[in-house]
Amino acid sequence: MRTLFCLVCAFCGLTTIQARQRQILDADWLFLLADSVQMSEVDYDDSAWRHLNVPHDWAIEGDFYVGNPSGASGGALPGGIGWYRKHFQISADPSPKGSRFFLEFDGVYMNSTVYVNGQEVGFRPYGYSTFEYDITPYVHQGENVVAVRVDNSDQPNSRWYSGCGIYRHVWLTQTHPVHVKHWGVYADARVVKGKGRLDIGVSLDGAGTVENTLMDSNGRVVGRSRGLRSTITVTKPLLWSCDAPNTYKVRTEVKVRGKVVDIYETTTGFRDFRFDPRTGFWLNGKNFKLNGVCEHHDFGCLGAALNEDALHRKLTKLKAMGVNAIRCSHNPPAPELLNMCDTMGLIVMDESFDMWRRKKTQNDYARFFDEWHERDLSDLVMRDRNHPSILMWSIGNEVLEQWSSAEADTLTLEQANLILNAGHDESTLAKDNELSVQSLLTQHLAEIVKRYDTSRPITAGCNEPSPNNHLFKSGAIDIIGFNYHHQWVKDVPQDFPDKPFIFSESVSALQTRGNYMMPSDSVYVAPKEWWLPYTDPSYMCSAYDNMHASWSSTHEETWDVVKHTPYVGGQFIWTGFDYIGEPTPYGFPARSSYFGLIDLAGFPKDTYYMYQSEWTTKPVLHLFPHWNWVPGDEIDMWCYYNNADEVELFVNGKSQGVKRKTASKDDPLCTAYHVGWRVTFDPGEVKAVSRKDGKVVCEQIIKTAGAPDHIRLSVDYQGQSTIFIMAEVVDRDGNLCPWAEDQICFIYEGDGEVLGTDNGSQTSMERFRVVPSVDGRLPTPHRKAFFGKCMVVATGNGSITAKSATLQPGVVTFTVEK
């Protein structure tokens, strides 16, 4: 899909040394899941190793197993130590006076050691940091070999699925000896008195002159400047916003004796934003809520391996729900996520760490924190600070330093989780006039951020709402961010006078797509208290918005607080998509989360439409559940709607009454956000009609499905090189069979491959990816339907035929660039 990507190729007048060339180094790596010191050596025999392209995640290819040390929290998938090797050519002469060469890894999970031609060039423990090595002293003209040892064997080290390997892109950059340093341009774009003010700072390696050209998105030059520090003013800038994400490009040219030796491009954007203690969030003079979601980095069946199409699909589905903000929880994201947020108009909270000194799992980043935090945090801010989409930095999520209890360092995973969710007593909070070690550490981290960027506020996800939380007490947190604790929001103005407020994390409702726990007006809390286990043989949660964990709430409950409290700037719901790992409230065989508004396969759960009805102006009428029950069953039918005054429900043509959304508690099945009816099931059809001023706005009919008849395939999302195909089990009239669990095999013909399959079930033990068996055969990818549906992800030009034992097959033909 990608070949050579040059910011600039050879320039006129440059004969021997080329200007900057940035080349993606993803193709043709060799991989082995084994460990030996000799694997770093130049002439090590790697001829039998597996050929693959990175981004790659070896854990997603494994089996779910209760004994895997990652535990169910980590997705019950394997870890281990793996090696990657790549042979590559260098045509120029590397030397301090000749060309310089840099190798950049966007992310390797974790503990990576990089060797070039047998020599160690560096070690990086944090699996989410981007890092670059100057490999000029180690390379030569001709063939070179890079070897990367990735060690994810010390587990558990994460509270969610991390993935294993070189799971983001790798880049090889060649420069002139005089060049812009790594992340060496800081384009600080602000709006000052209606004008765009761009302060540009350039850091050079070597001595040269600098000229900057600012261009709008049509390539028109709108300003120029010279020197290492300069300012460009744009009189009427096109502002960056969620609806119109206008960006600009700074082209930095470095010259030596009049000749251009480097060109470096930076995307930037002007926007005027603030968080107000009384009125919440403002962007370009508009006051609105941050309708955000938290996201982990995995792509379901594709694992942690970055796939731009999967990422774009994620963001597209979230944006269609009305999401305008993403929190990269709880670590630096892939650079591509930020690029997409820039161009799609999604606001970002960029987060650094899930823990500081105090660990949450046995082998997590806490063991590296003292030595590495300064480097990792600086690198995050340096890498990301030019993105117009980022409007705040988070220096940590629910770090145990919120409290002063010292035993945290010796806790087991279970104990740490309990402490996380339980809160602490008064004695562990900051005292008046005290600036504790924890508060000093908070100040120190904030100071690191401000060293590299003063244009954005700093927040942290805090699950201790008291103002005596050591983080708050430090004074270094610009935006008070609560995780949960919506009941405490009323105290915010008095507890934090003059500080803006957001929910850095909210809700944590628990849902399985397609499963409905009735009566729907009962709220199921699972577990009832944080210290109690929760079991249910179904290992499912409820797709009505009526189930959540003890520390959390229903979606409607928190949204109601956000919507009606002017000083709440917005929220980041936990989570947009389900993710692998953290299967609260269950343990193994549950291995992925229940928190998402969209399941792991990418199918929206019903509550997705509640937000769509509140957050967008798109006409919404979403009636659920299905209409396949036992005759005589009492069924709660819910409906989310907007742009209408009322909805009427009909069962087999008979009206069940007209209902309106209401904040009064008179009808237990109706709230300010949905209407509901308790009706008796009778096979046939159920119909909802929404009306405004007596006129029909929308209509939805659900029919009782007959016997499963055939498999219907349809394209869920087509990206540039990956296609997502939905398989549904339907009756002969095309009605979805909501209970179908048929095993579906996907027969692929074409020049690409099947990358994975999924169905959104949190307990499916089927492998996500099929990989060749020892004898080289590739098993047929398969997946059971889950509440009637599953998904297959593929590449190439070809066709997929979906077959099962008893259903008529489905076929889909497609063309996707490889």
Residues identified as active-site: 398, 505
> Smallest gap, in angstroms, from Cβ of residue 98 to ligand GAL?
48
* Shortest Å, Cβ 549 to ligand GAL: 6
In 3-state terms the chain splits into helix, strand, coil percentages (rounded to 5) of 15, 35, 45
Q: Which of residues 433-462 bind ligand GAL (CB under 6 A)?
A: 461
Q: How many residues bind ligand GAL (CB under 6 A)?
A: 14
Three-state DSSP state, 713: strand
Of residues 515 and 552, the one with the C-beta less far from ligand GAL: 552
N-terminal to C-terminal alpha carbon distance within the chain: 5
**Which residues, 89 to 118, sit near ligand GAL by CB under 6 A?**
none
Q: Which of 117, 119, 122 is nearest to 140 (CA)?
A: 117
State the minimum distance, in angstroms, from the CB of residue 354 to ligand GAL: 7
- The residue number whose beta carbon is nearest to ligand GAL equals 508
Q: Which residue in 398, 614, 731, 758 binds ligand GAL (CB under 6 A)?
A: 398
**Shortest Å, Cβ 316 to ligand GAL:** 24
Tell me the closest approach of the beta carbon of residue 607 to ligand GAL, in angstroms.
16
Phi-psi region of 806 (alpha: psi -120 to 50; beta: other; left: phi over 0): alpha
Question: Which parts of 126-165 interact with ligand GAL (CB under 6 A)?
Answer: 159
What phi and psi values does residue 468 have, to the nearest 5 degrees? -90, 5
Helix boundaries (H) for 385-502: 413-422, 437-452, 470-473, 492-495
Using only C-alpha atoms, the chain has a radius of gyration, in whole angstroms, of 27
Complex with ligand GAL: residue 582 or 599, whichever CB lies closer = 582
Nearer to ligand GAL (CB atom), residue 508 or residue 571: 508
Of 283 and 462, the one with the shorter C-beta distance to ligand GAL is 462
What is the Cα 192 distance to its own chain's centre? 32
Q: Binding residue for ligand GAL (CB under 6 A) from 115, 365, 501, 574?
A: 574
Is the CB of 536 or the CB of 749 nearer to ligand GAL? 536
Q: Which is nearer to ligand GAL, 109 or 579 (CB)?
A: 579
Least distance (Å) between residue 358 CB and ligand GAL: 14
Complex with ligand GAL: residue 292 or 461, whichever CB lies closer = 461
Q: Scan residues 357-376 and list those touching ligand GAL (CB under 6 A).
A: none
Q: CB 575 → ligand GAL: shortest distance, Å? A: 8
- Nearer to ligand GAL by Cβ, of 184 and 481: the residue is 481
Residue 351 makes contact with ligand GAL by CB under 6 A: no
- Measured CA to CA, the distance from residue 591 to residue 614 in angstroms comes to 31
| Strand 179-192, strand 142-152: pairing | unpaired
Smallest gap from residue 714 Cβ to ligand GAL (A): 33
Strand order, beta sheet including 675-680: 621-624, 634-641, 675-680
The answer to whether residues 56 and 166 touch, using CB atoms and an 8 Å cutoff, is yes
Shortest CB 409 distance to ligand GAL, Å = 19
Distance CA 685, CA 653 (A): 8
Alpha-carbon span 576 to 583, nearest angstrom? 15
> How far is CA 787 from each of CA 524, 608, 625, 628, 662, rounded to the nearest angstrom?
21, 17, 11, 11, 31
Min dist CB 241 to ligand GAL, Å, is 29
Closer by beta carbon to ligand GAL, 182 or else 296: 296
Considering the rule CB under 6 A, would residue 397 count as an interface residue with ligand GAL? yes
Q: Is 483 in the site for ligand GAL (CB under 6 A)?
A: yes
Q: Which of 88, 87, 131, 139 is closest to 111 using CA atoms?
A: 131
Neighbouring CB atoms inside 10 A of 422's CB total: 14
Residue with smaller CB distance to ligand GAL, 556 or 582: 582
What is the DSSP secondary structure assignment for residue 603, as one 8-state letter?
A: P
Applying the rule CB under 6 A, the residues between 504 and 533 that interact with ligand GAL are 505, 508
* Residue burial 215-241, b: 16+ Cβ < 10 Å; e: rest: bbeeeeebbebeeeebebebeebbbbb
CB 77 within 8 A of CB 62: yes
Q: Check: CB of residue 329 under 8 Å from CB of residue 505.
A: yes
| CA-to-CA separations, 478 to 115, 377, 392, 443, in angstroms, rounded | 42, 17, 9, 11
Which residue ranges make up the site for ligand GAL (CB under 6 A)?
159, 397-398, 420, 461, 463, 483, 505, 508, 549, 552, 574, 582, 584
